[in-house]
Amino acid sequence: MRVGAIVLDLDGTLLNGSKEVSPRNLEAVLQCVRQGIPVIVATARPPRSVADMLPEPLQQLDAMIYYNGALVISSKHGTRSHYPIEAGLLAEFIDDLTSTDGDPFISVEIEDRWYSMRELDYNKLMHITTGPQTLRLEDIRTMSVSKLLVSNIDEPRVRRLTEQFGSRANIVVTDAGQLIQIMGKDVSKESAVARLCAEWGIPLQEVMTFGDDYNDIGLFRSCGYPVAMGNAIDELKRMAYTVTETNDQDGVAAVLERVLAARAAR
The average confidence (pLDDT) of the chain is 92
So what's the pLDDT on residue 121?
63
160-178 pLDDT, tens digit per residue, is 999 999 999 999 888 777 8
> Which range has the worst mean pLDDT, 141-150, 211-220, 240-249?
141-150
**pLDDT(126) > 60:** no
186 SS3 class: coil
The torsion of the CA quartet 240, 245, 248, 253, rounded to 10 degrees, works out to -90
- Tell which wins on pLDDT, 228 or 78: 228
> Which range has the worst mean pLDDT, 32-46, 106-120, 145-159, 176-190?
106-120
So what's the pLDDT on residue 136?
87
Domain ranges of the chain: 5-82+187-265, 87-184
Whether domain 5-82+187-265 has CATH 3.40.50.1000: the reply is yes
Find the angle CA(54)-CA(144)-CA(100) to the nearest 5 degrees.
100
> Which range has the worst mean pLDDT, 89-93, 94-98, 129-133, 222-226?
129-133
Could you tell me what percent of the chain has a pLDDT over 70?
A: 96
- Tell which wins on pLDDT, 179 or 260: 260
Alpha carbon distance 196, 150 (integer Å): 29
176-232 pLDDT, tens digit per residue, is 778 899 999 999 999 999 999 999 999 999 999 999 999 999 999 999 999 999 999
Q: What is the DSSP string of 41-103?
A: EE-SS-HHHHHHHS-GGGGGSSEEEEGGGTEEEETTTTEEEE-PBPHHHHHHHHHHHHSSSS-
Prediction pTM value:
0.89
> Which range has the worst mean pLDDT, 17-31, 122-136, 137-151, 198-212?
122-136
Whether domain 87-184 has CATH 3.40.50.20: the reply is no
So what's the pLDDT on residue 132?
83
Alpha carbon distance 146, 23 (integer Å): 32
